[in-house]
Chains A and B, each alone.
Chain A
Amino acid sequence: MEIKEGQTVLDVARDAGIYIPTLCTLDQLPNFGACRLCLVKIEGMRGFPPACSTPATDDMDVITDDEELNNLRRNVVLLLLSEHPNSCIVCDDKELCEKYRTCPMKAGQITGCQLCPNKEDCDLREIVEHLGIEKVDYEFNYKNLNLEREDPFFDRDYNLCILCGRCVRVCEEIREMSVLAFTKRGHETRIDTAFGKSHLETGCRFCGACVDVCPTGALSARGTKWHGKLDSEVKTVCGLCNINCGIVVGVKWGKVVSTVPDPTSYTNGQLCVLGRFCIAPIINHFDRLKYPLVRKDDWLIPVEWEEAIDYAVEGLKKYSPNDIGFVISSDLNNEAAFMMLELARVLGTTNIAVGTPAEGSVVQEALQGGGNALGVTHLYRMSDFTEEKLMKPDEISKLKAIYTTQHLAGIEEAEFLIIQDVFASKTSECASVVLPALSFIETEGSVLSFDGTLRSLNAAVEPYAKARPDWVITNDVLKGFGNENISTLEDVRSAFKDELKKVTLPEMQELFLDGKWLPRILKENKDPQYSYRGTDLTKKVGDLRILKEANQ
């Protein structure tokens, strides 16, 4: 067997496809040696050394699986099961249940049958199956701890905790926050915050890394814990800031129900509170714009798309180019931003504002400037517009006709206002035409992340209500001006893709040498921006508001 420098017995076994059960190990974390399931036999060593922490050597003779080892492992798991609600693990009807797993909760919490939020994904259950445990010979010892729900975003049911310490370690080693710790000792040992404070009081940023590493249902995202088996999972990137962390979107009933970090992403499987907990509630928010609307007799009336586009085109045609302005949101993907710039060019105006521009270091701009700040800026530069001409929001608001892709205070008074946005807002209420757009999670497209890399957005779900992709809407308006060059997404892309691919920021590469770069910059970001297309997200996600208020 081939052994690489620094590999443990467990690493070598895994490379060779040999299964050794573990509960406390985790790829990014240093070994811990707590769960005692990876115990093996090594020739010349006393007792049962743990595979996770024993360095492998060439001349080692290792037994990973025999009756004695399985007996030991079984005994250890039985000890865990003597305190971990286990009826879902050893139930006679387990097989039937595996198939459907959608039945209503019918068993008490103590037995853990239907009330375990983790029933779809349980490391413990997998190991129980591997070891062939069918019966727990101990009287069940329920810890009877209170469910902890005082904090936003995630629930903690330490009755399900097996003290593997993954949450403590990820919080300390990867996120460098040290919110969680082992407390008390002996059988009473628990995971808790210092002095039993609430997570809000400890300064927790609710990145959810602890929830992601929990092998049981002890830690669970409150908003998404009951969805059960997902219908599908889609990899894409988050569009709420320009870091564009990789996410895996969980889809059920055609809806986005969860987002978890993509471990293969350049962000090393880490997210912030927005990407981890807020995307699903934002996307599913009742305040989404659903239908195209046009103003008739002071009322915004739902109309078909054709009518809305006609209304917008005809409206714009009434104004001279100098009276028309465009607000391009930094949250637009490249394709959408390109189309807006194209429209401005065709109309012959240079009245353009780029929404929520941020100033400061590259990192600060990325965190505060919008989901595709770099892409939008580069596209703007690529066209014939120069930076000096870029308008400030207050300059734009003086114009008679405005086409905006985001909520922007101060432009409500425009004579003719087109808004193409995701959420209803003050701006949309005052608009002449409302064009409902799809969010970053429902459209194909691309963003230019802050590191200068072009990343793809994949549509995770079918379009929401009647909303359409931004680029399609703008393209339809463009067609109204007789410009029919573009009909597919590929057409848009070919117009700019090569240019954006050239954007490289070599100075950024140094940042990524440290695998914990994302947690570090998030930790240093004292004033996180919670907005999307000009909409304050704390008004859309109650828990986010609680977090923001606690941090102030």
Chain B
Amino acid sequence: MTEHRNILVCRGTGCVSSKSPLIMEELERQIKAAGLSNEVGVKQTGCHGFCQRGPIVVVEPEGIFYCEVKVEDVAEIVESHIKNGKVVERLLYTDPKSNEHIPHYRDIPFYKNQQRVILRNCGHIDPENIDDYISAGGYSGLKKALDKTQEGVIDEVMKSSLRGRGGAGFPAGKKWKLCRDAKGEPKYLICNADEGDPGAFMDRSILEADPHAVLEGMIIAAYAIGASKGYVYVRAEYPLAIQRLECALQQAEEHGFIGQNILETGLSFEIEIKRGAGAFVCGEETALMASIMGERGMPRPRPPFPAISGVWGKPTNINNVKTLASIPVIMSKGAEWFASIGTEGSTGTAVFALTGNIANSGLVEVPMGTELGKIIFDIGGGVPDGKALKAAQTGGPSGGCIPAEKKNIPVDYESLTSAGSIMGSGGLIVMDEETCMVDIAHYFLSFTQQESCGKCTPCRVGTKRMLEILEKIKGGEGKPGDLEKLEQLAWTVKNGSLCALGGTAPNPVLTTLRYFRDEYLQHIDNTRCPAQVCKGLIRYHINEEKCIGCGICASKCPVEAISGEKKQLHVIDEATCIKCGICFQSCPPKAKAVEKIDIEVIRAED
């Protein structure tokens, strides 16, 4: 008989949506049926961050990593692996480069090159079981913190040089001190889990996989600043995160970590979960506070800063989920240990939601200062299908595009800012050579434009005017001088806006203009989209010599723009065509008859 084993089934949102709960049920049933209940435990975990390959099942202690598991695979896992000790090879992760199976979690390049501090427990513990968290060292940071004075805790955080993970990177210890020194009672502590960047899911995963880490961070922060009430402001679109948080809250209360007289120290702290209605701007702290108070989520000018007058007009401290999740380890392992990770100016680790044209998409945690290229190529496995890297966007829609030639840039607050982007809360979107940078700038700007709260003129109207210019450029109607106009508008929006949403909204435009100005000029001067993305500048055409008359394109065309007899040449009626590109994608590889070509624009004389 082998030692006690655990089968960990991922039950993060990604894996749940690909039926991991059924896999878990089936595993439990079959383990029981095999009479192995005493030797083998089946345990749910939170997200492993590699949702692309989900559902994920890990067998411990050996750390065998099965991916894309189906319910039908359960029998084989139990029979072959659990009973007979033979790893099920076909379910193992296959390295796309070497085409070899990699059985162990720790050897998979995606994980091998990461250093997980904030995500330390994600995928390893049962988020709905506080004992699991405690046995992984949880709440030891709280105990250590309570042994210190309040100033001592703040000093420790200051020494760690932890900077806010929400985007702006303000030193967390300094923020705490401001709030602690502020006059007014009660004081409030808010955990900002209003994660709004498209494609980003760091905060959600942490709340789903390790909610106690966030709660522990909050309790420590509350002790340090003297807060008696806490809020977790979390998007209502994160039902699983809310459920896990509620569960964790209840358990923490039962264990005396939250409530009156915490661990007999006289400290009292309670936490309330506030569901946000899904406005991007509510991630901005003053808008978030307004939302908590039942008002429209609109930012207000600062000063007064929340530390002086925040929610209900009282001193308030707001930290991001990742900032708070870092606190327990800073307490338990010490500020020096934390500060030894990363760079001098940006200590600790950064969590990214790696996505876009990348082989391995998912959650990635690396020490601050890691080269961008290392994240994209070593962890992310590079750009798939042999295409070249063109750029990467950090900081979500508020960030900027960093061109491929800057791939050696260290990922830290200052370096990203100097490149025109921002750290943001952790979106990282990889773009290949087939991406049009004008289109990308337009995409991000249209997001911030729609999510503007509408309060201040530069953000509400300025971004709209910028978007209109971009639309014209994309449609081949750009004029000389448009870029200067864009820059002037971008300057106005950046400097004139009330909050950071407007202040950073022009970043995608400014960075693409900075690094890809030529591509803009191609659109304007030659009415050509070099990446052949902008619909107004391309048309689809069926090559007479290559078409085999299979009719697939015609059957898939949503507007019936393609005609042709079976086995005969097919023709696209350009007047009807909406340029959706389905014909281009569906044309059989052996024919490759549908072509994307630049349109010939006859310009009216101005």
Contacts and interface: CB of A to CB of B under 8 A. Distances in A.
B457 A79 contact: yes
B462 interface: yes
B496 A182 contact: no
A72 B464 contact: no
B455 A31 contact: no
Of the listed residues B281, B454, B485, the one surrounded by the most CB atoms of chain A closer than 10 A to its CB is B454
Interface in B491-510: 491-492, 495-498, 503
A364 interface: no
A185 B492 contact: no
Given A75-B488, A83-B461, A34 B496 contact: no
Contacts of A52: 301
A55 interface: yes
A281 B453 CA distance: 40
A34 B457 contact: yes
Given A75-B489, A82-B465, A185 B303 contact: no
A75 B464 contact: no
Interface stretch (B323-331, B359-367, B444-452): B444-452
Nearest to B502: A36
A31 B300 CA distance: 9
A34 B465 contact: no
Given A36-B497, A39-B496, A186-B450, A76 B458 contact: yes
Interface string A435-460: 00000000000000000000000000
A72 B451 contact: no
Interface in B44-72: none
A184 B300 contact: no
A275 interface: no
Contacts of A165: 455
A185 B451 contact: yes
- Best-buried of A31, A36, A55, A72 by chain B (most CB within 10 Å): A36
Given A72-B496, A75-B492, A189 B460 contact: yes
B252 interface: no
Given A80-B461, A186-B460, A33 B453 contact: no
Contact of A36 (B449, B458, B488): B458
A502 B485 CA distance: 69
A72 B456 CA distance: 14
Q: Summarize A's interface: helix, strand, loop or mixed.
A: loop
A72 B492 contact: yes
B218 interface: no
Contacts of B8: none
B452 A79 contact: no
Contacts of A162: 457
A538 interface: no
A165 B301 CA distance: 14
Contacts of B464: 186-187
A188 B455 CA distance: 11
Interface in A98-144: 137-138
Contacts of A182: 296, 298, 453-455
A8 to B, nearest CB: 10
B452 A186 contact: yes
Interface string A476-514: 000000000000000000000000000000000000000
A375 interface: no
Contacts of A50: 301, 498
B279 interface: yes
B417 to A, nearest CB: 13
A82 B485 CA distance: 14
Interface residues on B, range: 20 to 34
A15 B348 CA distance: 50
Contact of B452 (A34, A83, A187): A187
A31 B301 contact: yes
A88 interface: no
Contact of A189 (B454, B462, B491): B454
Contacts of B491: 75
Nearest to A138: B465
B460 A48 contact: no
Interface residues of A, number: 34
Given A75-B488, A76-B457, A182-B296, A54 B496 contact: no
A33 B301 CA distance: 6
A39 B485 CA distance: 21
A82 B298 CA distance: 23
A88 B281 CA distance: 35
Given A33-B498, A36-B458, A76-B458, A186 B301 contact: no
Contact of B495 (A72, A181, A187): A72
B299 to A, nearest CB: 8
Residue of A31, A33, A34, A35 most packed against chain B (CB within 10 A): A34
Nearest to A37: B457
A34 B497 CA distance: 8
Most chain B beta carbons < 10 A, residue from A34, A36, A186, A188: A186
A535 interface: no
A162 to B, nearest CB: 7
B496 A185 contact: no
Contact of A34 (B279, B450, B488, B498): B498
Contacts of B457: 34-36, 76, 79-80, 162-163
B465 A163 contact: no
Given A48-B495, A76-B496, A54 B456 contact: no
A47 interface: yes
A186 B454 contact: yes
Interface in B442-490: 449-458, 460-465, 485, 488-489
A185 B454 contact: yes
A83 B457 CA distance: 11
A79 B496 CA distance: 12
Contacts of A188: 454
A198 interface: no
A36 B456 contact: yes
B279 A185 contact: yes
A305 B281 CA distance: 72
A187 B498 contact: no
User: Counting chain B CB atoms within 10 Å of each CB, which of A48, A55, A185 scores highest?
Assistant: A185
A181 B296 contact: yes
A165 B295 CA distance: 14
B251 to A, nearest CB: 37
A53 interface: yes
Interface in A325-382: none
B256 to A, nearest CB: 42
A189 B303 contact: no
Nearest to A53: B301
A361 B454 CA distance: 45
A186 B461 contact: no
Given A33-B456, A186-B449, A187-B454, A76 B492 contact: yes
Nearest to A39: B496
Given A76-B457, A185-B452, A187-B454, A47 B495 contact: yes
A238 B461 CA distance: 42
Interface string A166-209: 00000000000000011011111100000000000000000000
A33 B451 CA distance: 19
Contacts of B301: 31-33, 50, 52-54
B461 A79 contact: yes
B134 to A, nearest CB: 43
A79 B458 contact: yes
Given A48-B496, A55-B303, A79-B492, A187 B449 contact: yes
Top 6 nearest A-B pairs (CB, nearest first) are A189-B454, A33-B301, A53-B301, A75-B492, A79-B461, A187-B464
8 contacts: A33-B498, A34-B455, A36-B498, A75-B492, A187-B454, A187-B460, A189-B453, A189-B460
Given A48-B496, A79-B462, A181-B296, 12 more contacts: A33-B300, A33-B301, A34-B498, A35-B456, A53-B303, A72-B496, A75-B458, A76-B462, A79-B465, A163-B454, A163-B457, A187-B450
Interface of A: 31-36, 39, 47-48, 50, 52-55, 72, 75-76, 79-80, 82-83, 137-138, 162-163, 165, 181-182, 184-189
